[in-house]
């Protein structure tokens, strides 16, 4: 799908030929002298249209426009949230196999964040998964024109949003694929394909190399599956070699049954989404290739399955991590932190400016924050503030959670340096405190995306989050150099 930004208002938009025209109408709309503006004003006056976010008035071949279908959509205050609500509703109302060209026009000059919301919401509303369908019916929409009179002012924001969409859709694609179509090997192949893009390189380590590195925690999780583990190292080189990298670490559990601490059967199919952190790293690198920021980024993906065989790790087993710290595995379903801790130790070699890990780590985070905001933990206030601000700007929201040392008390054990679980109370925090032990040599943040990486029910599927947040953070860091 191709996005294009054009400098035009309602007068010119009314003459454009397209399958559907969506007009975004704010609460403070004031009509011009053209026929389309008059139509909008009349609809508002008669109360057939409300300017509240998501309220629509659909028209078929009105004489005031050249489009086959016209939808007037209220956007309230014109904020990013209001615009997103309106666009999701409007695009859903015109979505059909015949929709190939769509124009979305602001009735008044648009804010930067509103333009970004149009792009990301349109992509979300039209995304279609097809990989495992015998008769795939993919997205028919091929072109989206976003129109506003102040296009020049919002061009940079538009371009960034279009770049984010490319990465978010790659993340959705890999998160949505069933586990037999997204094994650790296939995930590594997807990373290798990214290396065909400019400024990106990829290296994949197997069991032999990982064993040589001493990644005992990662290997302990993988030993319950017949699928070989893979450790993916992606590099985006957008700046001088002397400039330190930002490292992203994505949890790549391509299927999680819980191991011997097996999960309940209902909804276990959704554990194919347990590699959404890894999928988001792939997505970020795809966006970096499109946006070309002047920054160096490393992506690390420890990928394996958490299954049960005769060699599977058992509750009570003690393993030695790459850092040399020993870990008592009290619960084999707390496996994400085991693969991540070795990846975090590996990240030390890059002497990074910051390390951010992304993981569907705990159900406790879902209880705490639901599906609206990702959990954010940060060892440095500056890093935490930057990530929070990036989430607000990208409308990919997160919330800062505590890292008080007292939360680590529950991880103490008689039989190793640390246990991998600390009880139910504050479970998202104790998981973060476990990871915190492996991050002393760099500024570190942890994004728990267990509640935001996918949706259940009728809308089941990956969300592509937090690609938007991460790309926004990286672009801001690049622009501050």
What CATH number has the domain bearing residue 126? 3.40.220.10
* pLDDT given for residue 257 in this prediction: 98
Instruction: Look at residue 201 and tell me if it is in a domain.
Output: yes
Q: Do 251 and 115 fall into the same domain?
A: no
Contact assessment for residue 378 and residue 400, using Cβ atoms and an 8 Å cutoff = yes
Q: Which of 230, 337, 373, 433 is catalytic?
A: 337
Instruction: Look at residue 432 and tell me if it is in a domain.
Output: yes
**Helix 276-291 crosses helix 151-176 at what angle (to 10 degrees)?**
150
Q: Mark the ranges of the chain whose per-residue pLDDT is less than 50.
A: none
Q: Do 110 and 221 fall into the same domain?
A: no
Instruction: Look at residue 166 and tell me if it is in a domain.
Output: no
* pLDDT given for residue 480 in this prediction: 86
**Is 61 annotated in the active site?**
no
Task: Please state the pTM of the whole predicted model.
Answer: 0.97
Q: Do 124 and 178 fall into the same domain?
A: no
* pLDDT given for residue 481 in this prediction: 74
**Is 286 annotated in the active site?**
no
Domain ranges, residue 425: 172-479
pLDDT digits (tens, 9 = 90+) for 57-105: 999 999 999 999 999 999 999 999 999 999 999 999 999 999 999 999 9
Instruction: Specify the number of domains making up the chain.
Output: 2
Q: Which of 81, 263, 455, 460 is catalytic?
A: 263
> Domain with 419 in it: what CATH number?
3.40.630.10
Q: Do 109 and 246 fall into the same domain?
A: no
* pLDDT given for residue 1 in this prediction: 87
């Amino acid at each position: 799908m191709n996005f294009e930004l054009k400098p035009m208002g309602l007068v010119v938009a009314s003459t454009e030929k397209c399958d559907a025209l969506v007009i975004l109408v704010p609460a403070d709309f004031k009509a011009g002298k053209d026929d389309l503006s008059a139509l909008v004003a009349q609809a508002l006056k008669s109360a057939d249209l409300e300017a509240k976010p998501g309220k629509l008035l659909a028209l078929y071949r009105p004489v005031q426009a050249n489009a086959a279908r016209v939808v007037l959509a209220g956007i309230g205050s014109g904020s990013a949230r209001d615009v997103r609500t309106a666009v999701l509703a409007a695009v859903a109302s015109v979505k059909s196999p015949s929709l190939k060209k769509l124009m979305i026009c602001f009735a008044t000059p648009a804010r930067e964040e509103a333009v970004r919301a149009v792009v990301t919401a349109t992509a979300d509303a039209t995304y279609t998964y097809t990989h495992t369908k015998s008769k795939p019916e993919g997205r028919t929409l091929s072109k989206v024109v976003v129109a506003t009179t102040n296009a020049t002012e919002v061009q940079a924001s538009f371009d960034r949003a279009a770049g984010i969409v490319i990465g978010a859709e790659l993340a959705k694609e890999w998160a949505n694929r069933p586990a037999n179509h997204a094994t650790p090997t296939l995930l590594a192949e997807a990373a290798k394909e990214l290396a065909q893009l400019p400024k990106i390189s990829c290296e994949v380590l197997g069991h032999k190399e990982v064993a040589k590195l001493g990644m005992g925690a990662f290997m302990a999780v993988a030993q319950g599956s017949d699928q070989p583990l893979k450790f993916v190292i992606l590099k985006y080189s957008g700046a001088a070699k002397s400039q330190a990298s930002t490292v992203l670490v994505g949890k790549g559990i391509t299927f999680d049954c819980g191991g011997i601490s097996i999960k309940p059967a209902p909804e276990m199919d959704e554990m194919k989404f347990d590699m959404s952190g890894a999928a988001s790293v792939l997505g970020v690198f795809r966006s970096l290739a499109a946006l070309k920021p002047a920054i160096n980024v490393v992506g690390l993906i420890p990928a394996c399955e958490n299954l049960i065989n005769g060699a599977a790790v058992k509750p009570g087993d003690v393993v030695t991590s790459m850092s040399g710290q020993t870990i008592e595995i009290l619960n084999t379903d707390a496996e994400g932190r085991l693969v991540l801790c070795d990846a975090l130790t590996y990240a030390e070699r890059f002497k990074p400016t910051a390390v951010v890990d992304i993981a569907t780590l705990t159900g406790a985070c879902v209880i705490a924050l639901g599906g609206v905001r990702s959990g954010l933990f940060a060892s440095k206030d500056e890093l935490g503030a930057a990530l929070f601000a990036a989430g607000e700007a990208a409308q990919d929201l997160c919330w800062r959670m505590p890292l008080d040392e007292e939360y680590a008390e529950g991880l103490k054990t008689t039989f190793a340096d640390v246990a991998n679980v600390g009880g139910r109370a504050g479970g998202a925090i104790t998981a973060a405190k476990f990871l915190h032990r492996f991050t002393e040599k760099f500024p570190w943040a942890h994004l728990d995306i267990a509640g935001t990486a996918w949706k259940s029910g009728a809308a089941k599927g990956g969300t592509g989050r937090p690609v938007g947040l991460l790309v926004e953070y990286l672009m801001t860091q690049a622009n501050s150099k």
